[in-house]
Amino acid sequence: MEDRSRELPPYTQKCLCKELELLNEVEDKISQIEVQIKAVMIETAEIKLLRTIPGIGLILAVVISTEISDINRFSGPEKLASYSGTVPRLIASGGKVFYGPIRPDVNRYLKWAFIEAANTVVIFHKKWSNRDVAKLYGRLRAKKGHSKSVVAVARHLAEATYWVLKKREPYKEKDVRNPVSSKRK
């Protein structure tokens, strides 16, 4: 990058250098805070299970675990998805169905956590091309666009969270090696 920065005008080089210094300082502060979080946090069984879900790291797992508390208070995965704000509004009238924006009156911390996890999936969707969530994002992005696809991935992650915590088993990808065939032999 230094080679390319020499091609810039002197004032722009100076600004770039200052921006990179600031970025390094912020990264150092983030690292220090992460060390402090790890020092005071106890990694529970739930947090370990949540970290098996794509896009969910230590901090998001702590937020999700704390906000959900007891998974048994939700009757199903769709209830957790709705509580976490990853379900669009449904407006139906005269036989027509319209999906509006996601609701604002939800648990904002869960909504943030699942959207952040979905954004991680988006960032790595090419690298994770064999994972269900990356395929979901790619398929929906072609039809609905980026924003709606991120929310759909967030909903998938919220519903997966329900099953991971309910069954107390790590996240599993769907088995695509043995697809069900509708053809008769």
Average pLDDT over residues 27-51: 92
Give yes or no for residue 184 having a pLDDT over 80: no
pLDDT value at position 185? 40
**Is the four-CA dihedral 96, 102, 103, 104 of positive or negative sign?**
negative
pLDDT value at position 152? 93
Please tell me the distance from the alpha carbon of residue 59 to that of residue 30, in angstroms, as a whole number.
12
pLDDT tens for residues 114-151?
999 999 999 999 999 999 999 999 999 999 999 999 99
Which distant-in-sequence residues (6+ apart) come within 8 Å of 52 by Cβ? 164, 170, 171
pLDDT value at position 179? 46
pLDDT tens for residues 148-176?
999 999 999 999 999 999 999 999 987 54
More confident residue, 34 or 180: 34
Give yes or no for residue 183 having a pLDDT over 70: no
What's the whole-number average pLDDT of the chain?
89
Please tell me the distance from the alpha carbon of residue 20 to that of residue 67, in angstroms, as a whole number.
36
Domain boundaries, the chain: 9-39, 41-167
pLDDT band at 32 (very low <50, low <70, confident <90, very high): very high
**Is the four-CA dihedral 99, 101, 105, 106 of positive or negative sign?**
positive
pLDDT value at position 119? 96
Q: Which residue from 16, 61, 23, 18 is spatially nearest to 41, judged by alpha carbons? A: 61
pLDDT value at position 178? 45
Q: How many residues does the chain have?
A: 185
Give yes or no for residue 31 having a pLDDT over 60: yes
pLDDT tens for residues 42-58?
889 999 999 999 999 99
**122-127 long-range contacts, CB within 8 A, separation 24+:** 122/146, 122/149, 122/150, 122/153, 124/55
